[in-house]
């Protein structure tokens, strides 16, 4: 299978990088083809130009390459921290520029964009790994877990990805080395389960 892995965290020593590294290693050990992007290290150009907004808008070579990788992916893996209940801006910019109309979704004939899009992605599975410094009970009670809605309903759900599994590792700032090692084993198992079924 073709796997696309997206990492969005600026600190190379972060637990997000450890998660992405374990997920990538697991994909390779299982014999899958992996395309991996560290969006911060690559300085992904996140600002969407107005000319790219239409489905037939002109895109540059870099964005076209990212689009081809997304279109080819059987499984998408995303790794990022929970910042203000949102992904980091660079990842949002990636979605804006790469999850394009005509590639990731389209509107049915006669719909001018006000309706519900039809998903076009080949991928039917996505794994999202998030880190958080907010305890799960407080996250749900106070914020309602907006990241789950963003990924499950607003991104993957609208693009045809029907199986979305999200994993939250919290509270990272007070976690122990032993706990983080267990979390990495959980990442390996989650990737193995997703790619084996």
For the residues of 107-136, what is the DSSP string, one character each?
PPTT--SSSPPEE--S--EEEEEEEESS-H
Question: Would you say residue 133 has pLDDT above 70?
Answer: yes
Q: Which residues contact 22 (CB under 8 A, 6 or more apart)?
A: 184, 187, 188, 191
Domain boundaries, the chain: 2-196
In terms of residues, how long is the chain? 197
Distance (Å, whole) CA 93 – CA 99: 10
Q: Which residues contact 107 (CB under 8 A, 6 or more apart)?
A: 101, 113, 115, 117, 118
pLDDT for the residue 197: 62
Contact between residue 73 and residue 45 where contact means Cβ atoms under 8 Å apart: no
pLDDT digits (tens, 9 = 90+) for 149-170: 999 999 999 999 999 999 999 9
The DSSP letter of residue 51 is G
Q: What is the pTM of this model?
A: 0.94
Q: What is the CATH number of domain 2-196?
A: 3.40.50.360
Tokens of 84: 């203000």
Contact between residue 62 and residue 31 where contact means Cβ atoms under 8 Å apart: no
Contact between residue 15 and residue 125 where contact means Cβ atoms under 8 Å apart: no
pLDDT band at 138 (very low <50, low <70, confident <90, very high): confident
Question: Would you say residue 113 has pLDDT above 70?
Answer: no
Query: What mean pLDDT comes out for the span 178-183?
Result: 97
pLDDT digits (tens, 9 = 90+) for 39-72: 999 999 999 999 999 999 999 999 999 999 999 9
């Amino acid at each position: 299978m073709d796997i696309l892995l997206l990492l969005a965290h600026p600190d190379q020593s972060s637990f997000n990088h450890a998660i992405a590294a374990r997920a990538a290693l697991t994909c390779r050990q299982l014999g899958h083809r992996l395309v991996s992007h560290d969006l911060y290290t690559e300085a992904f150009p996140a600002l969407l130009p107005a000319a790219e907004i239409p489905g037939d808008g002109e895109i540059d070579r870099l964005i076209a390459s990212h689009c081809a990788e997304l279109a080819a992916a059987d499984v998408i893996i995303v790794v990022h921290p929970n910042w203000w209940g949102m992904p980091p801006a660079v990842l949002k910019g990636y979605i804006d520029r790469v999850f394009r109309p005509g590639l990731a979704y389209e509107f049915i004939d006669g719909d001018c964009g006000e309706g519900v899009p039809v998903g076009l992605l080949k991928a039917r599975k996505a794994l999202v790994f998030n880190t958080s410094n907010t305890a799960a009970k407080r996250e749900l009670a106070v914020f309602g877990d907006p990241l789950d809605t963003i990924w499950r309903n607003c991104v993957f759900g609208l693009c045809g990805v029907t199986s979305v599994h999200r994993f939250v590792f919290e509270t990272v700032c007070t976690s122990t080395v032993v706990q983080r090692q267990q979390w990495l084993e959980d990442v390996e198992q989650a990737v193995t389960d997703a790619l084996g079924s």
